Amino acid sequence: MKKMLPVVNGPTLNCVLPVSGIKVKYRPFVVKEQKALLLAKESENQENILDTIKAVMISCTDGTLDFEKATVDDIAFFFLQLRIASVGEEVKFSIPCASCDQPVIMNLNLNSVKINAKKKNNIVMITDSIGIKFRYPTFNDTIAIDMMDAELRGIGATKMLIEHIFDDEEIFNKSEYTDEELEKWILGLTQDQLRNIENFFQDIPKLKHELNFTCPHCKTEQSRLLEGLHNFFRLGSVA
């Protein structure tokens, strides 16, 4: 009888997601998973890319990564750690020069990409006594927000991320109100009050990295900010 080929177990690694503090055990991705990522990236189909990346993260964590609890930037950070463990920390890619549009080759060490995670209470005061408790967006929230019409995104995201509203006496749980009731309440706020909410969105801990470089073709000094799920997924999928 033919002997079975030996089972090869990869190393088990640990990481703590910087925003939610969730601990994740994972293994590097294997050759077939890397191929699937490259194929998805070449397809340039956003939905296909996200689905493939999600499937790879699920199998590399044996289904333990909680997409409902981890924030979207936690997920993007985790994907970079997975990429570092699997392919290495160096990534080479090209971006067009802002001045002459010629491609500029960049070398980036993914270990230098960090999240500005500060502990916050996620409370936005609307008046002296009325406030909103928010949560940070998850991977699924971000996909849903991306799919909204651009002009509805602000209200849609606000509604989606409210945990509860409170005044100095009571808590008003979101689950007890309809979408229409919440929307009507938000539309009744003043511009200044809305600006407090916008500031909260601006302050959400984000994975970002600033690239400073001089174009080798036209010598223009410039900087480019990498942020958001799509940017880092694209980077992490570069072989």
Q: Which residues contact 66 (CB under 8 A, 6 or more apart)?
A: 22
Give dist(CA 124, CA 31) in Å, integer. 46
Residue at token pair 């651009």: 150
* Contact (CB, 8 A) for 165 and 193: no
Helix (H) or strand (E) holding 114: strand 114-115
**Closest distance to Zn ion from the beta carbon of 220 (Å):** 5
What residue has token string 């995104």?
A: 153
Residue 100 vs 123, nearer CB to Zn ion: 100
Binding to Zn ion in span 124-153, by CB under 5 A: none
Binding Zn ion (rule: CB under 5 A), the pick from 15, 53, 72, 215 is 215
Helix (H, G, I), strand (E, B) or coil at 5: coil
**Should residue 217 be labelled a site residue for Zn ion when binding is judged by CB under 5 A?**
yes
3-state secondary structure of 95: strand
CB of 99 to Zn ion, least distance (A): 5
Q: Which is nearer to Zn ion, 102 or 199 (CB)?
A: 102
Q: Give, for 156, the enclosing helix (H) or strand (E).
A: helix 153-161
* Residue 105: CB minimum distance to Zn ion, A: 12
CB of 103 to Zn ion, least distance (A): 9
- Shortest distance (Å) from residue 221 CB to Zn ion: 10
Q: Segment near Zn ion (CB under 5 A), from 40-48, 72-80, 153-161, 210-218?
A: 210-218
What does R_g of the chain's alpha carbons equal in angstroms? 21
* Per-residue tokens: 225: 């900010």
Q: How many residues bind Zn ion (CB under 5 A)?
A: 6
Phi, psi of 224 (to 5 degrees): -140, 135
Q: Name the segment binding Zn ion (CB under 5 A); options: 8-16, 84-92, 139-147, 211-219.
A: 211-219
Binding Zn ion (rule: CB under 5 A), the pick from 16, 125, 152, 218 is 218
User: Shortest gap between Cβ of 102 and Zn ion (angstroms)?
Assistant: 5
Would you say 218 and 200 are in contact if contact means Cβ atoms under 8 Å apart?
no
Binding mask 75-114 for Zn ion (x = CB under 5 A): ----------------------x-xx--------------
Confirm if 140 and 68 have CB atoms less than 8 A apart.
yes
Measured from the CB atom, is 185 or 213 closer to Zn ion? Answer: 213
Contact positions vs Zn ion (CB under 5 A) = 97, 99-100, 215, 217-218
